[in-house]
A and B are shown apart, each in its own frame.
Chain A
Amino acid sequence: MSETYLVEPDVGFIKEVGKLGGQDLKKCFQCATCSVACPISPDNKPFPRKEMIAASWGLKDRLIGNADIWLCHNCGDCSTLCPRGAKPADVLSAIRAYAVTEYATPRALGKMVNDPSKLPILLAIPVAIFLVVGLILKMFGVNWLNFAPTGDELWQADYISNYLVDIIMVPTFFAAIGVFALGLKRFLADIHANALLEGKTTQKKIEPVGFVQALIKTVPTIMKHGRFTECGENKERATAHMMVLFGFIGLFIVTGAFFAAEWVFHIEGPYSQINPFKWLGNLGGIALIIGGILMIAKRMGQKDQVTSYKDWYLIGLVLLLGGTGLLTEMLRLGGMYGLMALVYVLHLIFVWALFAYTPFSKLAHLVYRTVAMTYAEYAGRK
């Protein structure tokens, strides 16, 4: 060895990875079965064997800025063949959760999102925001929050005006984008530096044009779930993930359309059930629920996979978003307005949580994995 390297283990990092689902990390004896078992690992510096030893040694800096942890799609082929039950798939998943909190500012919020005891506080925040903003506006005569509306046919906006919802949700959404943007700036610099250090890239620096071209190439792979279907163990998982992803995309389109209807065209809801956007919304909600249930079933049936809080948080959010959304609609159609309002409040809490906490939760993978896959494409990592 011509190069000397002083190992500075970050014991706190090792412990944290254990808490996030990587508790079997230390069983690894570096046989490298995992790197071969992985169907999507490249030939040059394959993962996850090198990540396993880096994590064992607490080399945090080599991991959180390592794009390879995001190339992993957590199919579990490596954990199935692992002779030690060290569960590399879960270790990578835990490292990803750690990386998410590292790149999202404020870091304290990331820690809270990963801590089940802080969940009530996190959910109380949107309640407080709605109450405070609603009541302040009331003082100025803007009646966007109504605790007991009257009328024969009510809908949720009679209780909580869509304008109130929008003036809270829209800034939250853009704040989340802002958090992502800040994180991504560091993330991109880090993964490039790491790739240069480990000899994983042919590119000297990141050229925006080339990177965007790589992104254009990567998006269809993501949409088609190309990487998922390469996996051996859990091929069916692609279906569940596809339902949830497309469910979210559909609902995002619907939300945008109704936002435009409200603010630009001033067409007030509730919209007709035969409105195609309504169809898309209903389909999206159903897709979330079925996809979420499939994910739970899959995780329950999987013996060599750890499911920790970060995973339940996301699946729970998916199910609750779809469930409260559809239930609000059903209660409205059934004329049970009081109950509808209550469920709608819950729905708004979850929607706000979705927007606000995405950069801090497992859902952040939608950004980091996309960028990491794009970088791999750009860097010619095969």
Chain B
Amino acid sequence: MTSENKAPASGSIVVVGGGISGLTTAIEAAEVGYEVYLLEKNPYLGGRVAQLNQYFPKLCPPTCGLEINFRRIKDNPRIKVFTQAQVEKVEGTPGSYNVAVRLNPRYVNERCTCCGECAKACGTEISNEFNFGMDTHKGAHLPFEMAFPPRFVLSQQIIGTDDAQKAKAACKYDAIDLEMQPKTMNLQAGAIVWATGWEPYDAGRIDNLGFGQYDNIITNMMMERLASPNGPTQGKIVRPSDQKAPQNIGFVQCAGSRDENHLPYCSYICCMASLKQATYLRERYPDANIYIFYIDLRTPGQRYETFYKKIKEDKKVFFIKGKVAEVIEDPATKNITVVAENAVTGEKIKQTVDLVVLATGMQPTAANTKLPADLKYNPDGFILNDYEKGGMFAAGCAHKPADVVSSNQNATGMALKAIQTLARK
């Protein structure tokens, strides 16, 4: 880039959240010449996308998309990435913000080679939240193989225990520093893009769908982890109760979505996610029957519609128009009977399946944790963009439920909005 073409960078941009939207905003802004601070609360970048097995509708693994972005970050000195970083306070006005950030200690420095000796030395098993608690990891662990930055992390709960000492002793590269302390830093920025993303809706709150009560009822995000080669079962989709291959699988669409008692809105992606997950199952188990219970199947756009039509051709995938409102577990077999009314035939259906997948929706992160900035929200916790005021913008699923494609488009747009704030200053 020649200096004549360089944008008049007069200030930096803070991007909060290192998922697919935050990555996109950060990279797009940096690649036209702006300084970007990318803040991520987890020890790794990639967010929810990193947990997926495949993208729809192309069914390619998300790591390839993430890798390209990680490469662009590595190659771009204008992006400063901070993991385990949380925004504590935002003060100021558009064009001039002061952002207080807390950096939680990783206890592992840049000398880490990911050899894994520290993890082997640890004894304590910790529930693996990356896999929704379906397995455990050690007190020292790498979040997942493709994690960026590629560096182990020590869980806070082993600090001060023998495990921490053992991990430190096992490290040949002097990469473990148990003296690391939380730090606070202040960033000066002209614009802030909030790409704080989403959380799967807590399925345990949907009383009548049995999640948390019956072993063989899982959520769609759990299914992604089960299907992932780097998941708790190395990609084998098995029932949690007995690790057996399921023969009949039921998908419950709109589990807690489009429901005043839970999330009143449509999460946009769950129909496509279930159709995609049907392909995971049909590929692994050619004899398996898939029952998809839905209110309406929403596959917006020509590409998604084509995907849906293709799945519909599969004679082993049954679509039933009617929402599941009751689940019954057979205590002996741990099979689940889902109950719905087929609204087309007017018959009540009681379908017994081996595994139930609840297509739960996305809840904006800000619904459960208010962000420390002067932002406006809709009643569901999605951030409303105030373009009149400018300065701070929400991108991706912090703003509305969206798939990866729309999130990226939106995140690119918000990069431009952030740049405009700086350019007008």
Residues of A within 8 A of B (CB): 29-37, 41-46, 49-50, 81-85, 198
Contact = CB atoms under 8 A, between A and B. Distances in A.
Given A31-B323, A44-B347, A81-B325, A36 B254 contact: no
A83 B322 CA distance: 13
B346 A50 contact: yes
Given A37-B326, A46-B348, A81-B325, A32 B259 contact: no
B346 A36 contact: no
Contacts of B259: 83-84
B271 to A, nearest CB: 14
B392 to A, nearest CB: 33
Given A43-B348, A81-B261, A83-B261, A36 B325 contact: yes
A37 B348 CA distance: 11
A46 B346 contact: yes
A32 B340 contact: yes
Interface in B70-95: none
A83 B295 CA distance: 11
A32 B326 contact: no
A36 B341 contact: yes
8 contacts: A29-B258, A32-B323, A32-B325, A32-B340, A36-B326, A37-B325, A43-B348, A46-B346
A33 B253 CA distance: 12
B330 interface: no
B181 interface: no
A43 B347 contact: yes
Given A31-B254, A81-B325, A36 B348 contact: yes
Interface string B313-347: 00000000111111000000000000111110011
B145 interface: no
Interface of B: 208, 254, 258-262, 295-296, 321-326, 339-343, 346-348, 350
A10 B167 CA distance: 76
Residues of B contacting A: mostly: loop
Contacts, number: 69
Given A32-B321, A36-B322, A81-B208, 5 more contacts: A31-B322, A34-B325, A35-B322, A46-B348, A198-B346
B260 A33 contact: no
Contact of A33 (B296, B325, B346, B348): B325
A31 B340 CA distance: 9
A-B pairs, 10 with minimum CB distance? A83-B259, A36-B325, A35-B341, A32-B341, A31-B323, A43-B348, A32-B322, A33-B325, A31-B295, A45-B346
Q: Which of A29, A32, A33 is packed against the most chain B CB atoms within 10 Å?
A: A32
Nearest to A199: B346
A41 B347 CA distance: 11
B339 A36 contact: yes
A45 B342 CA distance: 9
Contacts of B350: 43
A377 B382 CA distance: 52
